[in-house]
Structure formats: C-alpha cells, structure tokens
Chain A
C-alpha cells in the first residue's frame, strides 16, 4: 500500500526579496525565473520550508511578475523557511547563486500580511528607439486628453478589447540625453487592476489614438512597484513597512 507523504513542518520565518531582471536576461519568462530561483535557493543552501505532498516544493510566492522581455528593477517574491536565518547572509548567498542579470537587490524579514496587496502600481520607463521626441509628446498629449482608449490584445481566452486609459496614473515623454540615434523615452505610472493593463497595451493605445508607430524594439523597464500615493500619483516602496518593523 502506498504510504501517505510526510507532513512538512510549518515555516518559522518568511523573507521578502526584491530582485532585478537586467540586460539580456530580460528575456527570461516567469516560468524560467522560478526554475532558476528554485535551483538558486538549493545552491545557496537556504533552509527552505517545503510544501507537503508526494512532490514537495520549496515554498516561494511570487508577486506581480513583469512580462517576458521587460527589464525590471522591482520584482518581488517571498520565501518561507524551515530555520531562522540572517537576511543579509541570504542576500549574499542568493545573489551569488543566481546568474548575472538576475540580481537580488534587497532581502527583509516579513512580519506577516500580504505583500502582493501592497503592489498597487508600477513605474515604467519605455525606450522607443528611432522615435522623435516631439512625435511621442503629441501622441502622449492626445492619449491623456482622452477619457477612454480601447485596445485589443490576444489572450488565452481569445481577442479581448478593453480600456487602457483608466489604469494610467501618469504618462510623460522626453528625449534621451546624449548623442546617438534619436530616441524617445516614456515615463509611465500604471495602476494594477482588472483587466491588467501592461506597458505594451499603453503603446497600442498611443498608436490607436495618437498614431504613434514604435517599431518592433521598444524596451520596457519597470523601475518601481508598490503602494500608490493617491495624492502625488507616485509609487512607494512596498518593503518600507517591513524594514521599519524589524
């Protein structure tokens, strides 16, 4: 008779981790990252808590992962541990165990509660190679002047049409400083919600309403992710309460 799997002990500590996806590793999908991270915790000998079941998995919860192809300075996850550890040591060990380009930026102890609830909005920087700054600026103006901008996206459930304007907290444009080819930069604050609006949806919206052609190579980079300050429209640090709690 098949034996029931052993029940795993509950975690004794949780750590929240901010990490970056940089350079060529921006093409890492979320599934790719989670496999790499599971191997990294093992290499780093982090004493992970495991799920119970026939096929125990290390307990890792991911929050608000950036789409494949987007770079990010502000990705978050939480790990559950079987032993108390020093977050500083885990930071160093994990960074060593991950490939360059997947970089651990901060590790703090979790006092409990939900991390993903704090991730209300993101700040994005979108680089548009070959797009003149004034062309971008006029499309942005048209976009901001509209109450609603409908765009389409192919999802697993088929082609969906939704409004991408409502989720945009702020949007601005400027030219790159320095020499080289012409290049516009968009600064975007996006509120998370349903339907989830992504930076490429906003680009589709800029094209729909402002005729902005961005070519095939815009680069999206998430600079921050966290609580949205309703007054200033800025994105705060989601780990600030945890840092203060220790």
Chain B
C-alpha cells in the first residue's frame, strides 16, 4: 500500500470531461464535502479509506450509509476518507483510452486520487446487482480482481451493506467483509490498520505483511476474511462444510449492532451535490431495525433489534440537516416509520415548527393503517399532497398470512376510504408476486382489491377521478430470513401470472382505466436470486458476465438476462449445479447454507420453525408473529446472541418551538 502515487488525476481528467455525459458527477466539490491532506506515513501513520457505492453517482451520492461513514471517519485527524462511485460506460471508455500517460485509474471525487493508493477500499452493497460494478472499479483502479493476486501495493478490499450478509458470491474478489452497522467497526478496523502501520507493517509467523493485517482483522471476530475459510462440497454440489483454515480465526463472524442512536446523530454535514440525484431531500433515520416479522424481509431480519432515536434528537437532526443542506424536503426514514413510539408527537412537533415555511415532510414505508392518514395529514399541512403508498405485499388474505403481514381487506379498504375522504386522489399499492405457496388465484385477488379500492374511493369522495396504481415486484428469497429455504418462482410462471392479472384489470370496463399497473418481467429477479443465495462458485459467473461486458445490472437498459444465462453455463461447467439449482430449488433443513458461518443473531431453528409455520396448509393453525416491541419476545435469538436489547420510547417529551436566530 504505497503512500506515493496518490496525486490527483484531475489535471489529466479535466481535458477529457467535456466528452462525457454529465461531467459534473465526476468533479466532486459537493457542499459539506471534506478535503483532507494525504499526510505522511513516515512521521505519523495515516489510515486512508476510499469508500464506494457501486452504482452511478446519482444513486450513490445520496446513500446514507456511505455519507455517515465518510463523516465518522473524517472526524478523526489520522484518517482520510474519500468517495468514489461507478463511472458510466462512456466514462469507462474515456478512462481506458486515457492520455499520453496511459489509462486514467478509478479515482475519488473528493481529491481525485487513484483508489489503489488508499489503505482500504470499502464498498457498500445495498443490492447484489452492484457486483459487476465492483469488478469494473477494481479493474479500472489497477487492483487485481482476485484477492489471491493482490500484493502489498493494493488496498484491502472490504464489503459492507445488506448484501454483505452473504458475501460468498464475491468472496474471490474481496479481502474482507463486515456485517451490520458500520459506524463503530470502521473505526475499529482503522485502529488495527494504524497499529500495524506503526509497527512497520510486519508479517509475523510466516505470514506476508498483507496476510498479517488480514489475520489481525479476522481474529478480532468482527471482520470476515474469506481466505481464512475453506468451503468443501458434497458430490451432489451442496456445501459439506465451511471451516476456518487458520488457527485463531473464529468459526462464526458476528454482525455489528450500534446501540444508542442518539449518540450517533449522523449525517451532521449532509452532502449536497450539484448534479441531480435520485433523492433530492434530507433524510433522518428515526429508528433502525424492525421486529414486525414479515418473513420475506431481509432488512427486517438482519437489522434487529429496534433502536429508536428520541424525539428531541430527531428534531435536532431535522433542523441541523435542512440548515446545513438547504433541502426543503425532509424524509423520516426507517423500515416502518409509523411504528416509532412517538411518531404522532414527532409529526405534530415538526409540522408546528415549520408551519408557514416551505419545508415539507414525508414518511416513507408506512403500514396500512388509518392512523397513517392522520399522520399524512399532519405532514401535508405545509406543502404538497403527493400520493399515498401502502404495501399489503400479498394479494390474498391467505398470502398475507404466509408472509406474516396481517393486513385484512377491511383494514385496507378502511384506510383508503379515510385517505380519499381527506382529499387524496391517488393511492399506490405495492405487492409481490412469486411468494411461497402462491397460486394464480392469490395474484388475481390483487385485481379484486384494486377494484374495491376504486369503488370505495368513488363512493366516499363522490368523484370519478380516483386512481390506484398497483406496483408489483417479484419475490426474491434472501439469506437470514425464514424464506431462505424457499424455491424461487421461475420467471416464466411469474410473467404468466402477471399477464393474467393485467388482462383481468384491463378487461374491467368500470374500473380498469382507473387502475395503473406497474411491474417488471421476472428475469432480473432470477439473477438477483442467484446472487443473493449463491456460494463461492457464483463468483465465476459474475466474472464471466463482467468480462462479456456486464455493467450496471440494476438498470434495465443495461441488464442482459441472456448474458447471465451464458455466464452461468460457462462458470458452472465443471460443477454438478446450475442456475436453477441456485434459484428455483427448495432447500432442506439439513443443508449447509453458504452464509451459515455468518451470524446475523437469528437462531436458525427459529427461522426454520417460522418457515414451517408459513407453509403450513392448515388454515386453522394461524401462527402470527407479532411485533416484540409491544408483545412478549418470540425468541428470534438476536438479543441474547448479540447482547443487545430493544431501545424504544416513549420518552414523554415534546418538540419545543425553535427560536429564530
């Protein structure tokens, strides 16, 4: 890891920028960004991070995770953190063509330093569809794709984010991965790196200096280093076992859980880009974690327990955020925002504070619940009244029981009736297709539900311009959920079901035109499924796809299913498994899953029981998992395993009016 070659490439880049689309995304200079000196390791060792969100700048810049880590790291005077994002294919070509000095390497947008010059290259994966973009960035950076080929001149390549709860498909390309909340672990890693540098970058017990550093990270129990684990396979292709190959390395690596969110009120200095991005607002995370127990939801499973921010911290963060950023729209983020114990007080307090200004508030991710309409009323007091979105997820009551999202049809109709009678004209409903045990009839019930929604809306509002948009996503089984054993629905059946649903809606003369229908074909979901539940052998597919030109797989205009099918055929040629084996195959209880050695805190037996309850065909054996925030613990295992506990209000406190300076 050299401290040289860290000079800015901007003078080389600048003459080339006029030839690419939206050059502003590559120049940095965002409000509240931090520019630090590179420092000199001879006098006192610095720890330098290049942080990446592996998607285009317009998607990556607003990402809260990267912004928080960037700020937490840069608060230390011995750490430098800079950001980098995926470059679009036109820029990739320009960088490969380069100039008289050769190709231009992957660079950070802050000081335009080459990524390879940093000590650590941390990549945040919200979705598995960013994996090919990781390979592009490594290759442009001049870092060998395979961890095994890297030398002392390369950074430690580290993955985080939700997808890192099963990093096995990209294990060959990673030096390390971390699970869970990043705020504390990035500092702990930085400490290990600094200590190792202060000691003169030693390699002990026959290890290379690079392996020594990885070993120190691995034995801490907090960082997963794939190279210290061997995976053995059974003749039929299933995993036989995953075992440490180096003494001192733990059998299981645990996720990190940040307690006391009030002590970590980040971002304090929200980044404000010049380029247009997908989220033009300031967001405050009002709590982390969710214990609703929806069986399909990986986020809800891996972020437990629930930890709320207090009403006062939320108020302070909103005020600070809008003043520092200039955003006039504030989103209150979480996995189920209306579940905050004091959400009513928060909503009223904020609406009071910003009454008469143009500050608008929004509450994404709300449940189907009439209470949310009064919240939405509070939030639209000052500004616009946009559409309302509810996510029943399952079309039929039976499906909603399978997924443990117990919303009755009555609840939904009552909720939308309240919305339409309060002046909303547009309601959006979100569903999934391809859930375990689902039949055509379950999906067709989505149409019935939408029609009832329109009928009720017309009745209570007395108007005909009522609209309902039905949005449908394909279900993808995810690791660390009760559905991790489930067979994914093949894309042909998914497409057929959605076609039947669409035909049913369109054929309806009375309601059809009031119902909008949004869905995607089932094929990208199959690839997401492959990457979600894949093992180390899937890395060969990712590499084959990338070599064939695969980039930006989360973008429909770039995604190619055929390329992935071809990549799976070549990548898995010498194995007994194939694409279907990873996706549409149901797993048995005894099977070793690729992520079993990665501990999200959830008890595997509890997950299995919950899976069995979900698919139990007996309609009388309703086993509802309620929310442990207000009902007794249902023993998912997280709190005792992780030594954590639920942190919730109510605090009983209120937001006071702000005194204007």
Contacts and interface: CB of A to CB of B under 8 A. Distances in A.
B377 interface: no
Contacts of A31: 276
B384 A54 contact: yes
Interface string B259-292: 0000000000000101110001000000000000
B30 A99 contact: yes
A20 to B, nearest CB: 14
A216 B14 CA distance: 10
Interface string A96-136: 01111100000000000000000000000000010000000
Interface residues of B, number: 31
Given A32-B24, A39-B272, A216-B15, A101 B29 contact: yes
A183 B569 CA distance: 55
B274 A25 contact: yes
B17 A27 contact: yes
A102 B19 CA distance: 22
Contacts of A97: 326
B10 A24 contact: yes
A99 B22 CA distance: 18
Interface string B310-329: 00000000000011111110
B14 A43 contact: no
Contacts of B328: 39, 42
Given A42-B328, A43-B326, A25 B16 contact: no
B237 interface: no
Nearest to A50: B358
A50 B358 CA distance: 9
Contact of A217 (B18, B322, B324): B18
Contacts of B325: 39, 43
Contacts of A2: 423
Contact of A129 (B15, B18, B29, B280): B15
Contact of A27 (B27, B276, B322): B27
Given A24-B10, A28-B24, A99 B326 contact: no
Contacts of B31: 36, 39, 98-99
A232 interface: no
A194 interface: no
B273 to A, nearest CB: 8
Which of B10, B15, B16, B327 counts the most A-chain CB atoms under 10 A from its CB? B15
Contacts of B364: none
A40 interface: yes
A179 interface: no
B274 A69 contact: no
B203 interface: no
A39 B27 contact: no
A55 interface: yes
For chain A, the bracket of interface size reads 20 to 34
B597 to A, nearest CB: 46
Nearest to B31: A99
Interface in A1-51: 1-2, 23-25, 27-29, 31-33, 35-36, 38-43, 50
Interface string B321-348: 0111111100000000000000000000
Contact of B27 (A24, A38, A54): A24
A124 to B, nearest CB: 16
Nearest to A29: B24
Given A43-B326, A54-B384, A24 B15 contact: no
A39 B326 contact: yes
Contacts of A27: 17, 23-24, 26-27
Given A24-B10, A39-B326, A216-B19, A56 B358 contact: yes
B28 interface: yes
A32 B276 contact: yes
A99 B327 CA distance: 14
Interface in B349-380: 358
A100 B29 contact: yes
A33 B327 CA distance: 14
Top 7 nearest A-B pairs (CB, nearest first) are A39-B326, A217-B15, A43-B326, A24-B27, A27-B23, A32-B274, A42-B326
24 contacts: A24-B14, A24-B28, A25-B27, A25-B274, A27-B26, A28-B24, A29-B24, A35-B276, A36-B272, A39-B327, A42-B326, A42-B358, A43-B324, A43-B325, A54-B384, A68-B24, A97-B326, A99-B29, A99-B31, A99-B272, A100-B29, A215-B15, A216-B16, A217-B16
